[in-house]
A and B are shown apart, each in its own frame.
Chain A
Amino acid sequence: MRLDRVFTSTSARLAAIYAALLMIAFLLAGFAVWLATRSAAELQIRERVRSEMSALQQEIRVEGMPAAIAAIRTRMQTPGALEYRLFDENGATLVGDLPVERPALGWSFVDLPDAETMEEGEEDLLVFSEVTPSGGVLAIADDLLHAERIRSAVLSAIFWVGALALTLALAAGFLATRGALARMDALSSALARVGAGDMATRVPERAGGDDVDAIGRAINQMLTRIDLLVANVRRVSTDVAHDLRTPLTHVRQSLETGAASQDLPAAHDAIATAQSKIDDVLRIFAAMLRLAEIEAGAARSRFARVNLAAVAERVADAYRPDVEARGQILHLESSVSAHIDGDADLIAQALANLIENALRYAGEGAEVDIRLLASDASVRLEVKDNGVGMRDQDRARAAEAFVRLDPSRAVSGAGLGLSIVAAIARLHRAELLLEDASPGVRAALVWPRQDVGES
Chain B
Amino acid sequence: MMRILLVEDDEDTAAYVIKGLREVGQSVERARDGRDGLFRATGEEFGLIILDRMMPGLDGLSLLKAVRAAGVTAPVLMFTAMGAIEDRVSGLEAGADDYLIKPFSFAELNARVNALGRRQPLKQEETTLVVADLSLDRLRRLVRRGDSQIDLQPREFRLLEELMLNAGRIVTRTMLLERVWDFHFDPNTNIVETHISRIRAKIDRGGDLALIHTVRGAGYTVRAP
Which residues of A line the B interface, CB within 8 A?
Answer: 272, 275, 282-283, 285-286, 288-290, 292-293, 298-299, 302, 314, 317-319, 321-322, 325, 345, 348-349, 352, 356, 359, 413
Q: Which residue of A lies closest to B86 (CB)?
A: A298
Name, among A302, A314, A321, A413, the residue most crowded by chain B CB atoms within 10 Å (CB to CB). Answer: A321
CA of A318 to CA of B194, assembled, Å: 10
Determine the chain B residues whose CB is within 8 A of the CB of A352 once the complex forms: 183, 185, 187
Query: What are 11 A-B interface contacts by the 8 Å CB criterion?
Result: A283-B186, A286-B83, A292-B83, A293-B83, A302-B89, A318-B183, A318-B187, A345-B85, A345-B185, A348-B182, A352-B187
Is A318 touching B188 in the complex (CB atoms < 8 A)?
Answer: no
Is B83 touching A322 in the complex (CB atoms < 8 A)?
Answer: no
CA of A296 to CA of B129, assembled, Å: 44
CA of A289 to CA of B86, assembled, Å: 12
Determine the chain B residues whose CB is within 8 A of the CB of A286 once the complex forms: 82-83, 101, 186
Q: Which listed residue, B82, B155, B217, touches A317 by the CB 8 Å rule?
A: B155
By secondary structure, the A interface counts as helix
Name, among B186, B189, B193, the residue most crowded by chain A CB atoms within 10 Å (CB to CB). Answer: B189
Determine the chain A residues whose CB is within 8 A of the CB of B85 once the complex forms: 290, 293, 299, 345
Determine the chain B residues whose CB is within 8 A of the CB of A275 once the complex forms: 105
Determine the chain A residues whose CB is within 8 A of the CB of B103 once the complex forms: 282
Q: Smallest CB–CB gap between A99 and chain B, Å?
A: 107
Task: Tell me if B184 counts as interface (CB < 8 A to partner A).
Answer: yes
Determine the chain A residues whose CB is within 8 A of the CB of B89 once the complex forms: 302
Is B184 touching A345 in the complex (CB atoms < 8 A)?
Answer: yes
With A314-B182, A318-B181, A321-B198 already in contact, the answer to whether A285 and B82 are too (CB < 8 A) is: yes
Q: Smallest CB–CB gap between B100 and chain A, Å?
A: 13
CA of A211 to CA of B182, assembled, Å: 54
Name, among A272, A302, A318, A413, the residue most crowded by chain B CB atoms within 10 Å (CB to CB). Answer: A318
Q: Smallest CB–CB gap between B188 and chain A, Å?
A: 6
Q: Which residue of A lies closest to B180 (CB)?
A: A318
Is B86 touching A318 in the complex (CB atoms < 8 A)?
Answer: no
Q: Count residues of B near A (Cβ-Cβ below 8 Å).
A: 26
Q: Which listed residue, A285, A299, A314, A356, touches B181 by the CB 8 Å rule?
A: A314
By secondary structure, the B interface counts as loop
CA of A293 to CA of B198, assembled, Å: 36
Determine the chain A residues whose CB is within 8 A of the CB of B101 once the complex forms: 286
Task: Tell me if B190 counts as interface (CB < 8 A to partner A).
Answer: yes
CA of A317 to CA of B183, assembled, Å: 12
Q: Which residue of A lies closest to B154 (CB)?
A: A317
Task: Tell me if B84 counts as interface (CB < 8 A to partner A).
Answer: yes
Q: Which residue of A lies closest to B83 (CB)?
A: A289
Is A290 touching B189 in the complex (CB atoms < 8 A)?
Answer: no
Determine the chain B residues whose CB is within 8 A of the CB of A289 once the complex forms: 82-84
Interface residues in B182-224 by Cβ distance below 8 A to A read 182-191, 193-195, 198, 217
Q: Which listed residue, A283, A299, A318, A349, touches B191 by the CB 8 Å rule?
A: A318
Is A319 touching B83 in the complex (CB atoms < 8 A)?
Answer: no
Is A321 touching B186 in the complex (CB atoms < 8 A)?
Answer: no
CA of A317 to CA of B194, assembled, Å: 12
CA of A290 to CA of B188, assembled, Å: 15
Is A293 touching B155 in the complex (CB atoms < 8 A)?
Answer: no
CA of A293 to CA of B85, assembled, Å: 8
CA of A302 to CA of B89, assembled, Å: 9
Q: Which residue of B lies closest to A317 (CB)?
A: B155
Q: Smallest CB–CB gap between A383 and chain B, Å?
A: 14
Determine the chain B residues whose CB is within 8 A of the CB of A317 once the complex forms: 155
Interface residues in B71-104 by Cβ distance below 8 A to A read 82-86, 89, 101, 103
Q: A283-B188, A286-B101, A289-B82 are in contact. List 20 more A-B contacts (CB 8 A).
A: A282-B82, A286-B83, A290-B83, A290-B185, A299-B86, A302-B89, A318-B183, A318-B191, A319-B187, A319-B189, A321-B194, A321-B198, A322-B189, A325-B190, A345-B182, A345-B183, A345-B185, A352-B185, A352-B187, A356-B188
Q: Smallest CB–CB gap between B215 and chain A, Å?
A: 14
Chain B 160-186 interface 0/1 with A at a Cβ cutoff of 8 Å (1 = within): 000000000000000000000111111
Q: Which residue of A lies closest to B105 (CB)?
A: A275
Q: Smallest CB–CB gap between B173 and chain A, Å?
A: 12
CA of A275 to CA of B83, assembled, Å: 20
Determine the chain A residues whose CB is within 8 A of the CB of B187 once the complex forms: 318-319, 349, 352, 356
Q: Smallest CB–CB gap between A294 and chain B, Å?
A: 8
Q: Smallest CB–CB gap between A26 and chain B, Å?
A: 69
Q: Smallest CB–CB gap between A300 and chain B, Å?
A: 11
Q: Smallest CB–CB gap between B104 and chain A, Å?
A: 10
Q: Which residue of B lies closest to A351 (CB)?
A: B187
Name, among A288, A289, A356, the residue most crowded by chain B CB atoms within 10 Å (CB to CB). Answer: A289
Q: Smallest CB–CB gap between B53 and chain A, Å?
A: 14
CA of A299 to CA of B103, assembled, Å: 23
Determine the chain A residues whose CB is within 8 A of the CB of B195 once the complex forms: 321
Determine the chain B residues whose CB is within 8 A of the CB of A318 once the complex forms: 155, 181, 183, 187, 191
Name, among A272, A325, A359, the residue most crowded by chain B CB atoms within 10 Å (CB to CB). Answer: A325
Determine the chain B residues whose CB is within 8 A of the CB of A290 once the complex forms: 83, 85, 185
Q: Smallest CB–CB gap between A413 and chain B, Å?
A: 8
Q: Which listed residue, B182, B183, B186, B194, touches A322 by the CB 8 Å rule?
A: B194
Is B181 touching A322 in the complex (CB atoms < 8 A)?
Answer: no
Q: Smallest CB–CB gap between B92 and chain A, Å?
A: 12
CA of A314 to CA of B180, assembled, Å: 10
Q: Which residue of B lies closest to A299 (CB)?
A: B85
CA of A322 to CA of B184, assembled, Å: 19
Interface residues in B30-89 by Cβ distance below 8 A to A read 82-86, 89
